[in-house]
Amino acid sequence: MKTRFLVNIVLVVTVVCMPGCKKKTPAPTEPQAKPEAKEARVMSANEESFGKTSEGREVNLYTLTNTNGLRAKITNYGAILVSLEVPDRDGNLADITLGFDALDGYLKMDTYFGATVGRYANRIGKAKFVLDGVEYELAANNGENHLHGGIKGFDKVVWKPEDLWANDNEALLKMSYISEDDEEGYPGNLACTVTYTLTKDDELKINYEAQTDKTTVVNLTNHSYFNLAGQGTGDILGHELTLNADKYTPVDEGLIPTGEIRSVKDSPMDFTLPMSIGSRIKQVGDGYDHNYVLNSGGGALALAARAYEPTSGRIMEIYTTEPGVQLYTGNFLDGSLTGKAGKVYKKHYAFCLETQHFPDSPNKPNFPSVVLHPGQKYTTETVHKFSTR
């Protein structure tokens, strides 16, 4: 007589809470029957030390894991996504983001690997803008221009952990940061939060919120460098990319938008149908470093991009409430950085899809507004959804 196995797996809920963080009561869990299950994987959220900053501040490494084995590691230094392990079509996990094994690499980097970028992601021309008749001068850290929030942007500050928990459906980490009035030249005290949520449906969601006490500009994004074949394994030229964007914003030599919104039609900028990233990259100088104007127009969560890597079968879809996305193909990686697991990062070894408002919007009245007034709440969401084919 055949033995009948009926394994009742009670999903264990891991809730870790650090001092000052709010503990949430997870939803009640029903016992589930999983006859074939070999391994009882659980949603979890954990915390460990990641070392000290140069000013001696302790920072942590948080790990969010889902029931399919997807694992995101995040540090509260720069609210950086340190690694993201995702299965290929055979179920083998690989870390698909560039970065460093230890905090030290992040303290020294100027590449923004995995970082939360703000107060204004991307460039502001001549590092200044006028708001309500007042001219604000920002830190110029990219020639005469301002890039990714300045000399000490949101990627180089310690974020305060607020929430860390997991239930049957998701594992979540929320962090906060208060950017003071005049920090890097911006007006207003800006209270921000970033929340990373890993869902049971293989999504990594990133939500931003911000409120100000003086009219200011805000544009927050995540600057992860992806290689869906596995970080450091080669270039990304064979990835197939689709962008839900009929238009883009052409730039000058300093990579500042000219203000024109141009059609991608009949040009190497066109990714409206799946195209390998490398097929026309030689026709765009050093590579892609452009903001695409999403057809959705922003507002509601909509599909912005899909990247497919044929050897591993990994697919990443990006949904966002933002009106734009910067496609950056790691043009300035030159082999001088050694990252995780001793991998050397060369030109085009990764691509970024930075969901955002358009670069230099504070100086471009025809671009969607990035102004935030006191009493308003800035909220945006970007979802990275993983699957295989």
Considering the rule CB under 6 A, would residue 111 count as an interface residue with ligand BGC?
Answer: yes
Closer residue to ligand BGC in complex, CB, 111/195: 111
- Which position among 354, 357, 381, 384 bears the catalytic label? 354
Q: Are 243 and 302 in contact (CB under 8 A)?
A: no
Question: In whole angstroms, how close is the CB of 116 to ligand BGC at the nearest point?
Answer: 13
Q: Are 373 and 343 in contact (CB under 8 A)?
A: no
Q: 233-262 mask for ligand BGC (x: CB under 6 A)?
A: ----------------------x-------
Question: Candidates 52-60, 163-171, 325-333, 334-342 — which segment interacts with ligand BGC by CB under 6 A?
Answer: 325-333
Out of 170, 203, 354, 381, the only residue in the binding site for ligand BGC (CB under 6 A) is: 354
- Tokens found for residue 246: 């009929």
Tokens 């979540």 identify what position? 172
DSSP SS3 for 281: helix
Tell me the pairing of strands 8-9 and 32-33.
antiparallel
Closer residue to ligand BGC in complex, CB, 111/321: 111
Closer residue to ligand BGC in complex, CB, 104/110: 110
Question: In whole angstroms, how close is the CB of 234 to ligand BGC at the nearest point?
Answer: 20
Out of 62, 106, 271, 328, the only residue in the binding site for ligand BGC (CB under 6 A) is: 328
Q: Mark whether 180 is an active-site residue.
A: no
Report the number of secondary-structure helices (H) and strands (E) in the chain. Answer: 1, 31
Greatest Cα pair distance in the chain:
85
In whole angstroms, how far apart are CA 148 and each of 49, 184, 208? 27, 11, 16
Closest CA relative to residue 198, chosen from 169, 227, 160: 169
Calpha distance 201→67 (Å, rounded): 9
Question: In whole angstroms, how close is the CB of 328 to ligand BGC at the nearest point?
Answer: 4
Q: Which residues pair with 381 in a beta bridge?
A: 207
- Tokens found for residue 381: 């969401």
Considering the rule CB under 6 A, would residue 293 count as an interface residue with ligand BGC?
Answer: no
Closer residue to ligand BGC in complex, CB, 113/129: 113
Out of 58, 151, 310, 332, the only residue in the binding site for ligand BGC (CB under 6 A) is: 332
Closest CA relative to residue 166, chosen from 26, 11, 29: 26
Closer residue to ligand BGC in complex, CB, 13/81: 81
Considering the rule CB under 6 A, would residue 289 count as an interface residue with ligand BGC?
Answer: yes
Question: In whole angstroms, how close is the CB of 249 to ligand BGC at the nearest point?
Answer: 12
Calpha distance 247→325 (Å, rounded): 11
Calpha distance 302→295 (Å, rounded): 9
Considering the rule CB under 6 A, would residue 326 count as an interface residue with ligand BGC?
Answer: yes
Out of 112, 159, 208, 386, the only residue in the binding site for ligand BGC (CB under 6 A) is: 112
Calpha distance 63→45 (Å, rounded): 6
Q: Mark whether 317 is an active-site residue.
A: no
Question: Candidates 29-37, 204-212, 264-272, 324-332 — which segment interacts with ligand BGC by CB under 6 A?
Answer: 324-332
Q: Are 163 and 22 in contact (CB under 8 A)?
A: yes
- Tokens found for residue 68: 């399919």
Which residues carry out catalysis?
223, 354
Residue ranges binding ligand BGC (CB under 6 A):
111-112, 122, 255, 289, 326, 328, 332, 354
